Structure 1
Amino acid sequence: MRRIMATLAATGILAAPAYATDITALSPAERAAFGRAVAQYLHANPQVIADAIEAAQPKPPDLYAEDRERDLSLIAQHGKMLFDRNADGFGPTAAPVVIALIRHPDCPSCDTAEADLRALSKQVPFRTRLLSMEEAAPFMAAMDMTDAPAYVFENMVLSGAMPPAVIERYIKDRLP
């Protein structure tokens, strides 16, 4: 934009004060100079056009905003129970990340989830809070959850068995 203004000033288009310049009353020579300056600027700065097009696009509605806010609110309301560093679990109590694993005693995928988290905790500093479905019943009812395992982070819930690499990525993304 500075280049355009410099070019316009040099060509005399902006010789008068800005409030006195009527862009619709430019002479043919001024209009041509202005056009060249704008074209030169846009050629050198194509992102300006992309930004303008993007800004003009209507933003799609966030269909899940209310659900997401509700879930985050419920996680926060139950946070003391979910993320109690001194309750049943494993990993360092001072770890920078705490997740809750909600499990059922007769659930092979819950056993696998716990084993995967235990193995991962030997490599990555995080704490896992272990909760039975009974202990987590108020949270699960509020969230309309019925299945285990469930991994609860401070800002999201993953329900069902997850590959270790997925959980590792979510944990590492939260590390300082």
Structure 2
Amino acid sequence: MKNWLIAAAAVTALTLPAHSLDVDGMSDAEREAFRAEIRQYLLENPEVIMEAVAVLEQREAEQQAQADVALVAANEEALFEDTHSWVGGNPNGDITLVEFIDYRCGFCRRAHPEIENLLETDGNIRLIVKEFPILGEDSVTASRFAIAVKQLAGNENYKAVHDALIALPGEVSEPALRRLSDAFDLPTDDILAHMESDDVTEVIASNHALAQRLRISGTPTFVMQTQMLRGFVPADDMLAIAEDLRSE
């Protein structure tokens, strides 16, 4: 609704004579006529409001993109060079994609096969996963488990558990995690005990602090090189963005 009001004001400013805009200097009768002129114009030309809204939204999107580029630049080391995040895809790829993920997020689950498709199709993308649980206790439990697996059992087992957690139905309970851990022949008791360790807590706290600096409040959120992509993005669109970045 706010955009509609702003657009209406913009339309008025663009379509009425300049002298008519001195509202403070108008008499009551002139002010009433001014309002009537605005209303009549918008009733006769409603499409102008939609055009103004589209222009306004485009400008806001461009401003947001510029602000995001600055945020990414200010946090490059934490985004691309931290020592606690899992790195996959092509570790030597010319494009780095960072994903902030919550295992209980429906759009993260929808994005997962898209990311797999992207990595397979392109072959030159480095993927960094940031555990970012924001949707309740099940989200936190799932991330703690995944991080504990990485810290105790290595990157390969983390990837296997990561893929399983993103598809895990039902609650993220201890029995469910035990079954998952046992299925991959992991040191289950050690991992469950390590979930509440300071080492795991520090990873989650670090990722949340980074997300706050980047003004990320939802998942999935992606950072591809200099660009921030907020929300679900299909693989084809990511491929196009990657090619645009390579041509810069």
State TM-score, norm by structure 2.
0.41
Aligned-residue offset at 1:102: 0.7
Alignment match, 1:129: 128
> 1:6-38 deviations in whole A, cap 9, x for unaligned?
xxxxxxxxxxxxxxxxxxxxxxxxxxxxxxxxx
2:116 is paired with a residue of what secondary structure?
helix
Measure the CA separation in 1 of the matches of 2:82 and 2:125: 10
Judged with a 3 Å threshold, the aligned counterparts in structure 2 of structure 1 residues 165 and 68 are, in CA distance, closer, same or farther, namely closer
Measure the CA separation in 2 of the matches of 1:64 and 1:121: 27
2:242 is paired with a residue of what secondary structure?
helix
Alignment match, 1:113: 111
Measure the CA separation in 1 of the matches of 2:210 and 2:114: 24
Amino acid at match of 2:92: A
User: Gaps (5+ residues) in structure 1?
Assistant: 1-61
1:122 is paired with a residue of what secondary structure?
helix
Structure 1 contact 85–98 (Cα < 8 Å) conserved:
no
Q: Please list, as runs of the form range in 1=range in 2, the aligned pairs for 1:18-29 lying within 5 A after superposition.
A: none
Amino acid at match of 2:72: I
1:106 is paired with a residue of what secondary structure?
coil
Larger relative contact order (Cα-Cα within 8 Å, sequence gap ≥ 6): 2
Judged with a 3 Å threshold, the aligned counterparts in structure 2 of structure 1 residues 73 and 113 are, in CA distance, closer, same or farther, namely same
2:129 is paired with a residue of what secondary structure?
strand
Superposition RMSD in Å: 2.6
> 1:34-74 deviations in whole A, cap 9, x for unaligned?
xxxxxxxxxxxxxxxxxxxxxxxxxxxx7677654442222
Measure the CA separation in 2 of the matches of 1:122 and 1:163: 14
Amino acid at match of 1:74: L
Q: Please list, as runs of the form range in 1=range in 2, the aligned pairs for 1:1-176 lying within 5 A after superposition.
A: 67-84=64-81, 87-124=85-122, 125-133=124-132, 134=204, 135-175=206-246
Amino acid at match of 2:129: L
Measure the CA separation in 2 of the matches of 1:65 and 1:108: 28
Structure 1 contact 84–129 (Cα < 8 Å) conserved:
no
Amino acid at match of 1:120: L
Which stretch of the first structure deviates more once superposed, 126-135 or 63-72? 63-72
Amino acid at match of 2:231: G
| Percentage identity across paired residues of the two chains | 15
> 1:87-136 deviations in whole A, cap 9, x for unaligned?
40311111000010111121132133232112221121111111112453
Measure the CA separation in 2 of the matches of 1:162 and 1:64: 16
Amino acid at match of 2:87: G
